[in-house]
Amino acid sequence: MSWKACARHGVREAPNGFALVQELLNTRAAMPYAPDLLATTDDAQWWVTDALGIWSRISGLPAPTLLLSTADLRSMRRLRAAFEYVVAAGASPEPEHALPPADVQVSLVPDGTGWVRVVPTGRGVRWLASALWAEVLLAQQAGFWPRLKLCNNQACRAAFFDTSRNNSGVWHDVSTCGNTANLRAFRERRRLLGQERQ
């Protein structure tokens, strides 16, 4: 069982159903190896069917079959942009990073043992939004939320789950994005040093 969008970036997946949020973020095009999975109806349909199947197995909750239209693609891309904004705002909590409102509903359903579960509601992309925001709420309660990050490499921006002890990771992969940035900074320092000497 593998989350397809996350797998193409080689990132560590977020725990439990929270990986659905990370999976949505990783549908974005990144560098030449990762086309946008929400660019065409066929790609988006393949992605959402697979992702919701995995989420359903992990969460133990049923997921509807979403049949996507062109209008749904626009809604899904807006939803992805909202989550990118929220994750970025969490990395730099400043007043200008006011979070966009999310008008979604969930149901609170007690199970046979007395535990209350957060269950997504709605239809189509609104159901998907409900499932995603419910997973954010659960991740916040479990303390996982601050560990979901976007790679600092602006050409990449892969969503990764930071497992560093002090939650200080900034690159989805230090050997690719981190080394590229460090090499660029090194060359810039050498260039500036050369200008100073002239």
For the stretch 124-157, pLDDT in tens is 999 999 999 999 999 999 999 999 999 988 888 8
CATH number of 4-197: 1.10.3300
What are the φ/ψ torsions at residue 119 (nearest 5 degrees)?
Answer: -120, 125
Whole-number pLDDT of residue 95: 46
What confidence score (pLDDT) does residue 111 get? 84
Percent of the chain with pLDDT strictly greater than 70: 81
Q: What is the pTM of this model?
A: 0.83
Q: For 113-123, what is each residue's pLDDT tens digit? A: 888 999 999 99
Token pair listed for 147:
């560990």
The domain segmentation of the chain, as residue ranges, is 4-197
Contact call for residues 84 and 78 (beta carbons, < 8 A): no
